[in-house]
Each structure stands twice: as C-alpha cells, then as structure tokens.
Structure 1
Amino acid sequence: MLSILIPAYNYEVMPLVSSLCKQCIESNIIFEVIVINDSPGLPVNGENNGVTTLNNCRLIQNESNLGRTVTRKLLAESAKYNTLLFLDADVKLPDNLFIKRYLSYIGKNSVVMGGYSYEKQPPAPDKMLRYKYGKQREQKEAAIRSQQPYGTIFSGNFLTPKHIFLENNYQDSQNLYGLDNYFSYKLFKNNVDVVHINNPILHLGLENNEVFFKKCLQSVQNRKNLLVDEPDAEKINSLIRHYITLKKYRIDKLIGVGFKITEPLLKKMIFKKDPSLLALDIYRLGYICHIK
C-alpha cells in the first residue's frame, strides 16, 4: 500500500499524476495520490482540478501559500497508508518501471532515495546556473550517493515510512527554503537507514539564475540558524564543516571581510554564460562567515 504525495506550486501536475496512476495499476498495488496546490488564486489550479477525476486521487487546495515543508507535513498527515512516496510536481518519470523499482522497499524501515536527472540539452542562458548545479551536484549514480548517504538527500523523489518522515521533518510552521539539510541531519542523528537506488526522476522545472541564487543564500542562512550549533552536523554537511574549521582557527571574520571585497567578482563569475560552481561555493562560504 502506497501513498504518493505531491506538493504543487504553480505547476500543472496532470501528466505526472496520470503516469503514476497507470504504473500503480500495472503494478497491481493498492495506492493513492494526493496533490496539494500551494499556489492559491493562480490559473494553474484550475488545470490541476482534473486530478479529482482519476481513481484513488485527491486534490487539496491551501488557502494561503504555506511553503513546501509545511505542505509536505500536511500531505503526510493526510495519507491513508504507512509508506509515502514524495515527488516534486515539476518532474517527469524516466520510464514505465519507476514505481516497480520502489516496490521491494514498501513496508521496510528505510528511507529510499531515487535520485535526480536532467535533460541532455542545456536550457536558455537565464537557467544555466540551476541546470549546471543539478547536472554536476545532483545527477549522480546510487553508488556515488551511497558513499555519503546523508549528504546527498534531495526531497523531490524519495520513499519513506510515514512515522519516520513525521518524526524527522522540520516541525516549525515557517516557510523556509533549504530544509533538506535539516531533514538529512535528523535522519543522521536518529540513525535512520538511508538507501540510495538508481531510480531518478527527470527534473524539468528550472528556476532562473537569480531565483536559484537567492534560494542558495536562503539555504545558507537556514543552515547557520538551524545546524551550526548542532552536534556532528559537520559530518554530513561540507559547508558547515568548512565554516566550523574557519571558526576554530578564528579566521571566519577575516573571511567575512574578504567576502565583501570579492563579492562583485564572485557574482560576475556565478552569473556568466558558463556559471562557475566553484565561485558559488566560495560565495556561500564567505556569505556564511559574513551573516549573523
């Protein structure tokens, strides 16, 4: 028995939901699909109403924008079954075996990460930063991800027991970005088994460069607020590990000052036609040293 849960923000989900239903029926499993529209008032919500015409599918409309973390919590609480498959709305299934690859893990006490993939053809220049980051940092074989099982967790495609998700998901109602890092840390500290498999979704919804860059900085801020002082957080997060090392040798403030001087050059390298991910890494390290 499987509950497939999809938080949707201004994205048409009918093609994805239809594919999921078809695969679940072909796999002969008991299932449900729940979609929560977290974009009140937008026209795409009308297009997503078609979800209610499909068997075993439900659509919930948030009255205000609650954010992905809170919406996922609502999805989990609404689920009828004890195994949850979370998928982002802006994805495409790789083939007709996607659900079947997860079947052997249903009912197990493990969190299972399927992975991400990206189109071979690069997008327009204004989306190259997100595309290049995804191709180089997220699109990895399970064997590579398994080397650091808690450091490569992406919440757009994973299977989890319901109780494990609710116990380890961020509990506050704030609409924050980048809380995959917090979820990873909680799984690590609670010794939850994390399994990586080769079952990637195709990530289609790429933010433009400015939006993605802003989200990267929000993620840095939230890591500093939520994880820097947590024991052993540096074991699963490289940014926190580097920051703690700089603090240990009391050069974090010096790095913060240097960051303000080099920030324009770093941003120029990040936003060029072929974005520099090294420049993005240096920027994030300088930023975490600079912010309070």
Structure 2
Amino acid sequence: MLSILVPIYNYNVYPLVLELHKQCMDCGIDFEILCQDDASKSGLNVLNENVNALSNCSFVSLKENLAHRENRNSLAEQAKFDYLLFIDGDSIIIHDHYIKKYIDNLHDFDVVYGGRLHPEKCPSDNQKLRWKYGRFIEDKSAINRKKKPHQSLLFNNTVIRKDCFNKVKFDKNRKKYGHDDTQLSYQLSLLKSKVNHIENPVEHGDIDTNLVYLNKAKESLENLISLYKEEKIDIEFVRLIQLYHFLKRTKSTFIISKIHSIFEKHLLQNLTGKNPNLFLFNWFRVGYLCSINDKN
C-alpha cells in the first residue's frame, strides 16, 4: 500500500515518525516508514534509533553522503509498496487524519500533493525572510494549486505512484541546491501524469535563518539557469525563466546586472535584517539571475 520515505540530515525525526506510525496503524493499512540520515554524523541520531523499535519502521544513518537528491532516490529504490509518500524530516503533522486523507484521495491519480504551511508567527527575526516567502508566496490552497497542477508541485508531503516515480527520479547529476521539484514536475508534465491537489498540509518546522536562506536562494538560481541553458526545462514552465528569457532576448540583462551590483549591498542589508521586504527579495533574485548571465 504505502511506503513513507523520510530523508533526514541532522534532525530528530522520531516525533514525526511516531505520529505517522500511529495514524497508519489506525487506518489498518499495509505500510512502511523508511528514514535515512545522509551521513550527518549528528548526535541526534541516538534519538532517531528509537524509530527501529516501531513496527514496519526503520532508521539508517549512512556512512557516506549521497546528497539530498540521491538520498531520496535511494529511499524510493528500497520501498516495497506501490505508493510513495515523500515527507521531509522537519515536517510537522497538524491533522489527526493526515494519512487517511491521502488514502481516500489516491484513486485514479499518479501524484497527490497535500500542500505546506508555515507557522502563523515567525519564530524569530533572524528567520523572517524564509518565513515570509513561505507564508505569503509558497503556501497555497488546493484550489489555487489546481490552476497549474504540475507547476505547483513540491516534493515534500507528496504521494506518487512508484512506477511513475521510476520514470523520472531526482537528477543525481546535479550538484547544486534547488529546483529539484521544478525539474521533476516538468518531467511529470511531459509524461502527462495525472496530478491531484488536496488540502492536507504539513507545517514547515525547521525554518532557515535569513543568511542561510539567501545563500540557498542564490545557489537555487544558479541551478535554474543551468536547467534553462541545458534545455532541461521549458521556458514557459517557470515564470522567473520567462522573465529572464525576455530580458536576455531584449539585451537587458547587462544593464540589470550593473544596477544589481550597485544596490546589492543595500539589498543584502535589508534581506538579512529584522524586516526583509519580499519585493526587494524578488528584485534581488532577478538581478542575481542577470548577474549570473553577465559572468558567463
């Protein structure tokens, strides 16, 4: 029936697994929960070992780092059931019937995405950039996600048929962080996979600090440009790439790159400060994209 796959890196996953295990048992389904730490060598793995005491559950700490894409692929290869539920180790289950809702909505679909939420209050000022972008940009209702079903997929809190996943998989050859979901979702769109969006969110628990998220955003943009230049994603599939392509076609990237270099210091001060502005973050992303093009 259901293989729940939990990639981990330096995080206590036991509370999450305990809740997932309880809900699976309550549903009376065949299931397994596979947890794999990607060689973090974290002291928290002592707590994660408790997962092995639960029925149909396992925790493994890898000796060598696979990186996040291949860690997910590895978990999928080990899975023995027809449906795979990908859920990140820092997710928080916020509904008592989370598993049942997925079971009730699997029929006639290749992929089912439940959505994600960020907490109502930001944990700290130093996490406000990631929290704002998540809460006001990424967190979408099922009704809104259904308008662009493939573009709205994120592969945390997503169920996918194993035979469908095996046709795509995460691209292990890409080394930089970011846009795994974009690339995989685009591949699924080419296969005309049937995607359903439901209201079954998890809460994002481990929110990055401003500087960490900003550095991740930069690396993610570098990866997106690589996908674009290697023609591994269609221009129309990502709005940011549509804009970048327009700017490149109109020979505007050089000008925007120069403006970005002038104001970059001031942008960074705002984005790593106590009250980051999302409009400035979007400008930073466009400017950084153009500066990547200028360097190349």
Shorter-chain TM-score range: over 0.9
After superposition, residues 146-225 of structure 1 pair within 5 angstroms as 146-178=146-178, 179-225=180-226
Q: Which runs of 5+ in 2 are unaligned?
A: none
* Mapped partners of 1:106, 1:195: distance in 2: 9
Residue 141 of structure 2: aligned partner: 141
* Mapped partners of 2:26, 2:80: distance in 1: 21
Residue 104 of structure 1: aligned partner: 104
The alpha-carbon deviation at position 107 of structure 1 amounts to 5.8
The answer to whether the Cα contact below 8 Å between 1:8 and 1:39 also exists between their aligned partners in 2 is no
* Mapped partners of 2:141, 2:276: distance in 1: 23
Aligned residues: 292
The alpha-carbon deviation at position 174 of structure 1 amounts to 4.4
The alpha-carbon deviation at position 76 of structure 1 amounts to 0.2
The alpha-carbon deviation at position 109 of structure 1 amounts to 4.0
TM normalised by structure 2 equals 0.94
* Mapped partners of 2:44, 2:14: distance in 1: 11
Deviations 1:104-128 (A, max 9, x none): 3446442111101121122111111
* Mapped partners of 1:75, 1:17: distance in 2: 15
Residue 264 of structure 2: aligned partner: 263
SS of equivalent to 1:227: helix
Residue 84 of structure 1: aligned partner: 84
* Mapped partners of 2:175, 2:245: distance in 1: 26
The answer to whether the Cα contact below 8 Å between 2:257 and 2:288 also exists between their aligned partners in 1 is yes
Residue 41 of structure 1: aligned partner: 41
The yes-or-no answer on 1:19 pairing with 2:19 is: yes
Q: Which moved more, 1:190-199 or 1:203-212?
A: 190-199
Residue 94 of structure 1: aligned partner: 94
After superposition, residues 209-288 of structure 1 pair within 5 angstroms as 209-230=210-231, 233-288=234-289
* Mapped partners of 1:148, 1:247: distance in 2: 25
* Mapped partners of 2:86, 2:44: distance in 1: 21
The answer to whether the Cα contact below 8 Å between 1:108 and 1:161 also exists between their aligned partners in 2 is no
* Mapped partners of 2:161, 2:13: distance in 1: 24
* Mapped partners of 1:73, 1:182: distance in 2: 14
Residue 130 of structure 1: aligned partner: 130
The alpha-carbon deviation at position 77 of structure 1 amounts to 0.1
The answer to whether the Cα contact below 8 Å between 2:91 and 2:205 also exists between their aligned partners in 1 is yes
> Structure 1 residues 225 and 59 mapped into 2: Cα distance closer, same or farther (>3 Å)?
same
The answer to whether the Cα contact below 8 Å between 1:83 and 1:107 also exists between their aligned partners in 2 is no
The answer to whether the Cα contact below 8 Å between 1:84 and 1:162 also exists between their aligned partners in 2 is yes
Q: Which runs of 5+ in 1 are unaligned?
A: none
Amino acid at match of 1:85: L
Q: Which moved more, 1:195-204 or 1:222-231?
A: 222-231
> Structure 1 residues 13 and 264 mapped into 2: Cα distance closer, same or farther (>3 Å)?
same
Deviations 1:73-103 (A, max 9, x none): 0000000111000000001111211001100
Q: Which moved more, 1:142-151 or 1:46-55?
A: 142-151
> Structure 1 residues 106 and 201 mapped into 2: Cα distance closer, same or farther (>3 Å)?
same
SS of equivalent to 1:167: coil
* Mapped partners of 2:204, 2:68: distance in 1: 16
The alpha-carbon deviation at position 241 of structure 1 amounts to 0.7
| RMSD after superposition | 1.6
The answer to whether the Cα contact below 8 Å between 1:69 and 1:176 also exists between their aligned partners in 2 is no
The answer to whether the Cα contact below 8 Å between 1:70 and 1:173 also exists between their aligned partners in 2 is no
The alpha-carbon deviation at position 195 of structure 1 amounts to 1.4
> Structure 1 residues 127 and 5 mapped into 2: Cα distance closer, same or farther (>3 Å)?
same
SS of equivalent to 1:168: coil
Runs of 4+ off more than 6 Å? none
SS of equivalent to 1:132: helix
The answer to whether the Cα contact below 8 Å between 1:2 and 1:106 also exists between their aligned partners in 2 is no
The alpha-carbon deviation at position 232 of structure 1 amounts to 6.3
The answer to whether the Cα contact below 8 Å between 2:114 and 2:158 also exists between their aligned partners in 1 is yes
